[in-house]
Amino acid sequence: QVQLVESGGGLVQAGGSLRLSCAASGSTFSINNMAWYRQALGKQRDVVASITSGGNTNYADSVKGRFTISRDNARNTVYLQMNSLKPEDTAVYYCNLIALRPGGWEAYATWGQGTQVTVQS
């Protein structure tokens, strides 16, 4: 029943910045753990950053120090501030609700359309 809508992507030069937004439906948004994923051409969809209902965050090694995940529970929205962008960051970015499984964090809501981020050198 959760609907996820990503926005904020676009074309940017290397070294530039973008801020992605993820609007989520549902009355229990504030208690959900959330994550941003990305899928580059020819690669699988991988976690970029996560944030728990309590505000704890984690990042993939490739984006540490450059990306910041945050949430606004009043607006049912999760953000990803992306700074110092590199061509390797080019991908479709998605958000989702996540749960901890024996194999690690796993998304469990229906995927949205994602938002394209393209970084040019």
The pLDDT tens digits of the residues spanning 19-47 come to 999 999 876 677 789 999 999 999 999 99
For range 88-102, the mean pLDDT:
94
Mean pLDDT of 50-61: 94
| Rounded distance between C-alpha atoms, residue 84 and residue 109, angstroms | 30
What was the pLDDT predicted at 30? Answer: 72
Question: Could you write out the DSSP letters of every residue in the chain?
Answer: ---EEEE--EEEETT--EEEEEEE-STTGGGSEEEEEEE-TTS--EEEEEE-TT--EEE-TTTTTTEEEEEEGGGTEEEEEE-S--GGG-EEEEEEEEEEETTEEEE-SPP---EEEEEE-
What is the C-alpha separation between 19 and 4, in angstroms, rounded? 16
Query: How much is the average pLDDT of 82-90?
Result: 98
Give me the pLDDT at residue 67, please.
98
Tokens of 29: 């948004």
Residue 56's pLDDT band (cuts 50, 70, 90): very high
Task: Show the tokens assigned to 33.
Answer: 């753990």
